[in-house]
């Protein structure tokens, strides 16, 4: 049998090791050295965020956002249930309550039209998630946020190089969190960044990231000794990770273009099956520039999906489902609540299957798509 096609394989540009060698030669291995500064500057230039701070993960950046918002126990944060656990956990760690809202049928992003009805006197923030690197309706969401005095946090873990009406994801809300986990488009193994849209959060973000000290100000010569000034933790990555990431950032445009060409091949292939009524393809609104983070199919039912995953696996192609909605998970039931019912979240999450999308899968696509053709016809046709 042919070699199995994995669901994901991290891509390396080939220039990571020489960057790491330079970090090694610099002899500065803790955070905020030359490479971290380079990555922060790259992010500011490429997203338009006022300030970018590398973190150890997107999870860490979301935790920083929750600290910056000074949430108190019982405060509420509106978010989708169709997301990764970190979106909710970051706020739950502060004692806040995730309030889950249903998603849109087209992009699977939070339904902006349902946010207002979920607002109570305890609501402090809205945390949106740009699923598959396709933007939420940020215009409407920022309007609701401003109208009710709520902070808007973007979980842009999947959104590097994606845009909404030309603006970079993560730099539209008050705070944004990016991920450089090896399953994302631009990687550092583990890594992330916090984006601050304007000056308001910057000084405190630097303090929170540096264990609650004003060490960043000290290094800039703004204070003559550094001390404990606020709550905080250790959220900054070491220079070796930043060196690796800098090589990836330098190739970001090219990597995104290659991912888009794979995504477009999937999309062209899936058209016929969509016309035959076997599946539904992803929707990307015209005003959203996406980064081809993910290609998924929506099958007619959960049962069809299980059978499809099984058939593909038997033929050596690893396709996977995605989130178990948070509102029906044990911790989601314990720490969160829903705003009304979430029929679309329940339905769509049960039918979604993700196809392998990594740089290098191109050469396997003919066999992969042929296998999927057969499996779809057997399972759904």
Among residue numbers 171 through 200, which ones bind ligand PLP (CB under 6 A)?
Answer: 179, 181, 192
How many residues bind ligand PLP (CB under 6 A)? The answer is 14
Interface region with ligand PLP, contact rule CB under 6 A, candidates 81-89, 245-253, 258-266, 370-378: 81-89
Is 158 a binding residue for ligand PLP by CB under 6 A? The answer is yes
Which residue lies nearer to ligand PLP by CB, 184 or 304?
A: 184
- If binding is defined by CB under 6 A, does position 159 make contact with ligand PLP? no
> Binder to ligand PLP among 35, 42, 82, 84 (CB under 6 A)?
84
Q: Which helix (H) or strand (E) holds 164?
A: strand 163-164
Identify which range of 97-105, 152-160, 216-224, 277-285 contacts ligand PLP by CB under 6 A: 152-160
The pair of structure tokens assigned to 360 is 């290098």
Q: Do residues 242 and 53 lie in contact, with contact meaning Cβ atoms separated by under 8 Å? A: no
Establish if 129 lies at the interface with ligand PLP (CB under 6 A). yes
CB 318 within 8 Å of CB 2: no
Give the whole-angstrom CA distance, residue 267 versus residue 365: 12
Q: How far is the CB of 224 from ligand PLP (least distance, A)?
A: 36
338-377 footprint of ligand PLP as x/- string (CB under 6 A): ----------------------------------------
Toward ligand PLP, which CB reaches closer, 177 or 251? Answer: 177
Binding of residue 43 to ligand PLP (CB under 6 A): no
Name residues contacting ligand PLP, limited to 262-321 (CB under 6 A): none
Q: Would you state the structure tokens that stand for residue 243, as one six-digit string?
A: 């060196």
Nearer to ligand PLP, 110 or 278 (CB): 110
Read off the DSSP letter of residue 156.
-
- Told to check if 86 binds ligand PLP by CB under 6 A, we report yes
CB of 295 to ligand PLP, least distance (A): 15
β 97-101/337-338 pair status: parallel
Please, are residues 77 and 91 in contact by the beta-carbon 8 Å criterion? yes
In order of 106, 113, 267, the CA distances from 320 in angstroms are 20, 30, 18
Sole binder of ligand PLP in the list 155, 174, 210, 239 (CB under 6 A): 155
3-state SS track over 60-121: HHHHHHHHHCCCCCCCEEEEECCCCHHHHHHHHCCCCEEEEECECCCCCCECHHHCHHHCCC
Residue 133 vs 304, nearer CB to ligand PLP? 133
Residues 50-69 interacting with ligand PLP (rule: CB under 6 A): 57-59
- Residue by residue, DSSP assigns 271-336 as HHHHHTTS-B-----TTEE-----EEEE-SSHHHHHHHHHHHHHTTB--B--PPPGGGSHHHHHH-
Query: CB of residue 160 vs ligand PLP: minimum separation in angstroms?
Result: 11
Q: Is 175 helix (H, G, I), strand (E, B) or coil?
A: strand
- Of 176 and 212, CB closest to ligand PLP: 176
**Toward ligand PLP, which CB reaches closer, 59 or 214?**
59
Surface-to-core class of residue 215, CB atoms within 10 Å of its CB (0-12 exposed, 13-18 middle, 19+ buried): buried
**Least distance (Å) from ligand PLP to the CB of residue 341?**
23
CB of 26 to ligand PLP, least distance (A): 25
Q: Does 157 bind ligand PLP (CB under 6 A)?
A: yes
Residue indicated by tokens 């946020």? 145
Q: Which is nearer to ligand PLP, 136 or 151 (CB)?
A: 136
Secondary structure element (H or E) that encloses residue 124, with its range: strand 123-129
DSSP 201-240: GHHHHHHHHBTTB-HHHHHTTSSSS--B-S---B-PPPHH
- Rounded Cα distance, 78 and 99, in Å: 5
Question: Is residue 87 near ligand PLP by the rule CB under 6 A?
Answer: yes
Nearer to ligand PLP, 170 or 192 (CB): 192
| Cα–Cα separations (whole angstroms), residue 341 to 27, 79, 99, 152, 338 | 55, 14, 11, 23, 7
* Residue 36 contacts ligand PLP per CB under 6 A: no
Residue numbers of the site for ligand PLP (CB under 6 A)? Answer: 57-59, 83-84, 86-87, 129, 155, 157-158, 179, 181, 192
């Amino acid at each position: 049998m042919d070699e199995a096609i994995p669901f994901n394989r991290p891509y390396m540009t080939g220039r990571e090791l020489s960057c790491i060698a330079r970090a090694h030669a610099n002899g500065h291995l803790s955070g905020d050295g030359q490479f971290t500064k380079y990555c922060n500057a790259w992010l500011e230039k490429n997203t338009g965020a006022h300030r970018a701070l590398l973190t150890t993960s997107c999870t860490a950046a979301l935790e920083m956002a929750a600290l910056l918002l000074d949430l108190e126990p019982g405060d509420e944060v509106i978010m989708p249930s169709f997301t990764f656990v970190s979106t909710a956990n970051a706020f739950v760690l502060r004692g806040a309550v995730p309030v889950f809202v249903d998603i849109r049928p087209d992009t699977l992003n939070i339904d902006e039209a349902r946010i207002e009805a979920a607002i109570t006197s305890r609501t402090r923030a809205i945390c949106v998630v740009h699923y598959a690197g396709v933007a939420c309706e940020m215009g409407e969401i920022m309007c609701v946020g401003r109208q009710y005095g709520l902070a808007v946090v973007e979980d842009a873990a999947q959104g590097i190089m994606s845009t909404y009406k030309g603006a970079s994801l993560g730099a539209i809300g008050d705070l944004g969190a990016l991920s450089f986990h090896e399953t994302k488009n631009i990687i550092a193994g583990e890594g992330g960044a916090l984006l601050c849209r304007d000056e308001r959060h910057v000084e405190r973000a630097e303090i929170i990231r540096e264990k609650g000290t004003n060490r960043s100000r000290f290094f800039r010569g703004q204070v003559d000794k550094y001390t404990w000034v606020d709550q905080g933790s250790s959220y900054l990555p070491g220079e070796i990770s930043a060196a690796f990431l800098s090589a990836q950032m330098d190739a970001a445009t090219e990597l995104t273009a290659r991912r888009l060409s794979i995504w477009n091949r999937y999309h062209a292939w899936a058209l016929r099956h969509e016309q035959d009524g076997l599946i539904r393809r992803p929707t990307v609104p015209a005003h959203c520039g996406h980064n081809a983070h993910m290609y998924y199919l929506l099958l007619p039912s959960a049962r069809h999906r299980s059978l499809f995953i099984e058939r593909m696996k038997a033929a050596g192609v690893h396709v996977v489902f995605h989130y178990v909605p948070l509102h029906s998970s044990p911790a989601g039931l314990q720490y969160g609540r829903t705003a009304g019912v979430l029929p679309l979240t329940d339905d769509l999450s049960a039918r979604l299957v993700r196809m392998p999308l990594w740089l290098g899968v191109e050469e396997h696509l003919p066999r992969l798509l042929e296998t999927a053709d057969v499996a779809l016809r057997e399972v759904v046709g």
